[in-house]
Amino acid sequence: MPEKCPFQFDLMNPVTYQKGIPFEYFKTLREQCPVALQDPSDANSDGDFWAITQRDDLDFVSKNPKIFSSREKLSHPQNGDDDPESMEIMRQLIINMDPPDHIKYRRVVRNAFTSKAVDALEPMMREFAKNIVDKVAAKGECEFVSTVAEEMPLFVICALMGLPSDQRQRFADQVDIMLGMDDPELSVSQEDGQTAAAELFGIAMELSAKHEADPKEGTVLHALLSGAVEGEHLNEFEFCSFFLILIAGGVETTRTATSQGMRVLMEHPEQLQMLVDDPSLIPDAIEEILRFYPPFIHMHRTAMEDVKVSDKEIKKGDKVVLFYPSVNHEEAVFGEDVDQFDILRTKRMPDLKNQHRTFGIGQHFCLGSHLARKELKVMFEEIIPRLRNPKLVGEPRNLMSNFVVGIKEMHITFDPEV
């Protein structure tokens, strides 16, 4: 039995993250036990796991799917996933696939997320972003998450999927239920999550029927329904599963990055003023936001053979957990000021967007990374010039989750636009 790391931080407990990402825990592990055998918590009942906290090790695990499987025990397991039938269903989600299946299915939607395809959406995004800010600018205050941060990703995903605008809230409510199962304040059970997934499957099938009657090329929906794997179109479950993963990831990444980005900028008013004075710095600020406070905390892998990572012997069947906030704050990569938020970091690190791991690396690198960056750029280009001198009103209410560092509610004030 390998010796456990003397530093045990209950990293899989949602409570650990409720007041924010515990960067000091990850710093200790990087310095003392970069590949750390950790005890499970109540939220992680299937045994000990190896916490990967340095970037080179995370890259090695991520780039070797034959050794470290997403499929075996799932990339993002939930309580109850030890049921064999549930496991087989979950393994059909692209997030839990290994090559060669993952590569085949990824090709189905890859073309819908090319830089060219996403860039073509910018005029539509720009108009909608202006409308979002129009609704709050004259008020001088708002609840930022619901009125600003979540609006753009919902609009874009719904547009990409061909979902009518009058169904957007129905869709958003089910996504929130799925992502809120760890938070007792939301009173969401595992059964509620399954019901929400079933509701989203129903929405997907409604869209499929409408598309069959009136096909619209250029949408992600069209890519899913017209794409083929080895000559076969996606079956009903495969189509619904793709739909589920794409919309949940697409909504939460941008909503959380927008909310946390606004929070961090308000906490650093001198840097926010730099963006007011020079909006050309906004893309640089977005990369620093993504590095500094990534929306997702971890993903899992399972060792398929005995393997050495750093100086640790990992055995076949061991669980390995990749912690993205930790590798994004590694001093050896980003410098001694790694825990300081600095929108000018790209001036010292022009390749910052390829150095942080917020969108992962390897075969599961996020398909929607360019889309997320584009949404964030457009939103902050509309927010920053118009919501002047923003300030927090009280503390934000964070989502209790060991997976998403979401904000449930964040009230702000600003100078009313005249």
For the stretch 121-164, pLDDT in tens is 899 999 999 999 999 999 999 999 999 999 998 888 888 777 77
Check whether 203 has a pLDDT greater than 80.
yes
* In 235-306, beta strands by DSSP E: 298-303
Task: List helix spans (H) across 138-219.
Answer: 144, 151-161, 168-179, 190-213
Mean pLDDT for the stretch of residues 233-251: 80
The length of the chain is 418
Residue 196 lies in a domain: yes
CA distance 305 to 107: 28
Residue 8 lies in a domain: no
Q: Which of 67-71, 305-309, 367-371 has the lowest mean pLDDT?
A: 367-371
Mean pLDDT for the stretch of residues 233-252: 80
CA distance 111 to 217: 12
Q: Are 309 and 50 in contact (CB under 8 A)?
A: yes
Residues with Cβ within 8 Å of residue 233, at least 6 apart in sequence = 225, 226, 227
Check whether 36 has a pLDDT greater than 90.
yes
Residue 67 lies in a domain: yes
| Residue 44, pLDDT score | 45
| Residue 173, pLDDT score | 79
Q: Which domain holds residue 258?
A: 14-413
Which of 245-248's residues contact partners 24+ apart within 8 Å by CB, and which partners?
245/93, 245/94, 245/95, 246/109, 246/157, 246/161, 246/220, 246/367, 246/368, 247/157, 247/161, 247/171, 247/175, 247/200, 248/175, 248/178, 248/179
Check whether 382 has a pLDDT greater than 60.
yes
Query: What CATH number is given to the structural domain containing 322?
Result: 1.10.630.10
Instruction: Place 4 in a pLDDT band, splitting at 50, 70 and 90.
Output: very high
| Residue 78, pLDDT score | 66
For the stretch 314-347, pLDDT in tens is 999 999 999 999 999 999 999 999 999 999 999 9
Mean pLDDT for the stretch of residues 293-316: 96
| Residue 79, pLDDT score | 56
| Residue 314, pLDDT score | 97
Mean pLDDT for the stretch of residues 172-200: 72
Residue 5 lies in a domain: no
Q: Copy the structure tokens of residue 320.
A: 């390995």
Residue 153 lies in a domain: yes
Specify burial of residue 275 (Cβ count, 10 A radius: 0-12, 13-18, 19+). Answer: buried
Residue 285 lies in a domain: yes
| Residue 169, pLDDT score | 75
Higher-scoring residue by pLDDT: 382, 227: 382
| Residue 264, pLDDT score | 98
Residue 55 lies in a domain: yes
For the stretch 54-90, pLDDT in tens is 999 999 999 999 999 999 999 987 655 567 777 887 8
| Residue 66, pLDDT score | 96
| Residue 248, pLDDT score | 73
CA distance 331 to 192: 41
| Residue 226, pLDDT score | 82
Q: Compute the half-sphere exposure of residue 10: CA atoms within 13 Å on the CB side of its CA.
A: 10
How many structural domains compose the chain?
1
Residue 7 lies in a domain: no
Instruction: Place 1 in a pLDDT band, splitting at 50, 70 and 90.
Output: low
